Structure 1
Amino acid sequence: MDRKLSPEELQDLFAWIDKIPLLGPKKREGIANDFSDGVMAARVVKQFFPELVDLHNYIPAISIKEKVKNWTLLNRKVFSKLGFLLLESTIRKIALNTVGAVMPVLRILREKIETKLEHSSDNTLVGTACMPVIKPELDSSTEPKEMMKNSTDAYPAFKHIPEEEKQTVETLQETVEKLQIKVSLLEGLLHLKDNAMEDLMRYLEEYKARLTDQQLM
């Protein structure tokens, strides 16, 4: 997370920030100060996921203590739900307006927001696939014999298919529909699992790096 961003990455990130209505255009040289108390970061998440953030909990601050408090709350209540956490040392660097400290965090935040938005879209598709198959309603005034007559008139081949075989075909069609729904659901779950594995591997690498830093101290 402490990796220095390239000029192209910074430009792309600034362009993304400028498009967020709750923030408005930001001066490049003042970005560290603007985000130092965590309020702007809370507004970023609020723009995309209003239910995750209560802006009343994040008060503009000047003191380092209050800035750290805002970021710690954001870390615990919001970032954890997006799938990442900041180290205490990173939070303190941001609160101290350390040059270059906040941009890698905003990059990760952007990635997590976009990932969650993508997952939300996938879940919508999965949910749609799991909806029961609704068959056309039949006119209650039509007698069963009349319905069968209409079917055989429209499809003469049905006249030569025994009733038992017709029922078997209908049963198989229903089974195929159910299996297709299950396949769609499993594909969605597999996609979520792959993303979860990527997040876990990233956490593991960060944990190993932190242990290495502690051993070198």
Structure 2
Amino acid sequence: MTEKYELDMDTLGDIYEWVDTFSITRPKKNIARDFSDCVNMAEVAKHLFPKLVDVHNYPPANAVPRKITNWNTFNVKVLKKLGMNFLTSDDIQNISSCVPGSIEWCLNEFKQASEAYFAKKQSSQPSPQQKKISKPDPKATKEEHHEEEELDDQSSEADFDSPSPVQKEPTPPPAPKEETKKQPKQPQKRPLVQTEERSINSSQSVAILQKKHDEELAEKDAAIEQLKDAIDTLSQKVSKMEQMLRLKESRIQTLTMKLQQSGSY
């Protein structure tokens, strides 16, 4: 264990109790191994920041490169967006490789950073007294509205009673038919609002389809990685079983030879 990851017993106890307050799919047996692929870490962050974390981006993994990929995704999409830039490439390598003390240090840093984040967010919100002061008085607004209506009624009555001093001008004679025929008709300009709305809707639909396509590709990649991990584990088991069979066959051959030699005597 490096000096960076050394924590006292009280801090470790607080971290383990803090982790137990969250419901995670994988039970905490060996915390270094269980948190090495970032799946449990993503679930803990999902409880604290549900709109920011998507658990589907962190598929379970057995190989170290795939674990590093999950941690890099978590570092970029969660920690850096929250301003928690405490993970380096060496830290990610150590956590993915199950270096003792590395995941406890990471959880402690994330716990302290999240608590500071929520404390700062709560201090920036207005107090209940300020909210009461900012609320308008409904009685005052009703009185102001009533006064405005009375002023509007008075102005409308004054306009209705006062005679208009301006006399109507005589209407001009109609233009001759020949001149009206010669005047070209001006084309009506079609409003651009509908075309702009259509372009906005089409761009939004394209963005939604692109997002769905990217999510499907990410899910397929995750499934492929899981299948690769399963194939690796199965191939290792097959090779071990073949080795055991060869050992048993050689043992059988030696025993048969011994039996034949003892029978010849």
1:9 to 8, 11, 27: 11
- CA-based RMSD: 2.9
- For residue 114 of structure 1, what is the aligned residue in structure 2? 115
The CA deviation string for residues 86-114 of structure 1, in whole angstroms up to 9 with x for no partner, is 11011000000111111111000001111
In 2, Cα distance between equivalents of 1:107 and 1:119 = 18
Give the match for residue 179 of structure 1. none
Within 5 Å, give how 1:28-67 maps onto structure 2.
Answer: 30-67=30-67
- Paired with 2:103 and 2:126, the residues of 1 have a C-alpha distance of 35
SS of the equivalent of 2:134 reads: coil
Matched with 1:77 is 77
Counterparts in 2 of 1:52 and 1:135: CA distance versus 1, 3 Å = same
Structure 1 stretch displaced more, 54-63 or 17-26: 17-26
The 2-side partners of 1:24 and 1:128 are apart by 45
Which digits, 9 at most, give the CA deviation of each residue in 1:58-109, with x for residues without a partner? 1011111110000000001101122222110110000001111111110000
- Offset of residue 125 of structure 1: 2.6
Aligned to 1:132: 134
**Aligned residue identity for 1:72:** N
Q: Highest Rg: 1 or 2?
A: 2
Looking at structure 1, the residues matched to 120 and 60 of structure 2 have their Cα atoms a distance apart, in angstroms, of 32
Match of 1:191 in 2: none
* C-alpha distance in 2 between matches for 1:17 and 1:116: 18
The answer (yes or no) to whether the contact 2:5–2:101 under 8 Å persists in 1 is: no
**What SS does the corresponding residue of 2:92 show, helix, strand or coil?**
helix
The residue identity in structure 2 corresponding to 1:92 is Q
C-alpha contact (below 8 Å) 1:18/1:24 kept by paired residues: no
Structure 1 unaligned spans of 5+: 145-217
Structure 1 pair 53–90 and aligned structure 2 pair: CA distance change class (3 A): same
Q: How many corresponding residue pairs?
A: 142
Assess if the C-alpha contact under 8 Å between 2:68 and 2:96 holds in 1. Answer: yes
The 2-side partners of 1:127 and 1:81 are apart by 29
Q: Tell me what 2:100 maps to.
A: 99
Distance 1:136 1:54, change over 3 A: same
Closer/same/farther in 2, CA of residues 4 and 23 from structure 1, 3 Å limit: farther
Post-superposition offset of 1:126: 6.5
Q: Decide whether aligned partners of structure 1 residues 24 and 35 sit closer, same or farther in structure 2, where only a CA change above 3 A counts.
A: closer
**Cα distance in structure 1, aligned partners of 2:51 and 2:128:** 20
Query: Cα–Cα, structure 1 residues 69 and 119, in superposed 2: closer, same or farther, change >3 Å?
Result: same
TM-score of the two chains, using structure 1 as the length reference: 0.58
The separation in 1 between residues aligned to 2:74 and 2:15, in whole angstroms, is 20
Residue 40 of structure 1, CA deviation: 0.9
Corresponding residue for residue 196 of structure 1: none
Give the aligned partner of residue 166 of structure 2: none
The answer on whether the counterparts of 1:23 and 1:44 sit within 8 Å (CA) in structure 2 is no
The secondary structure found in structure 1 opposite 2:17 is: helix
Percent same amino acid among aligned pairs? 31
| 8 Å Cα contact 1:22/1:47 also seen in 2 | no
Greater Cα offset, 123-132 or 47-56 = 123-132
TM-score scaled by length of structure 2 = 0.48
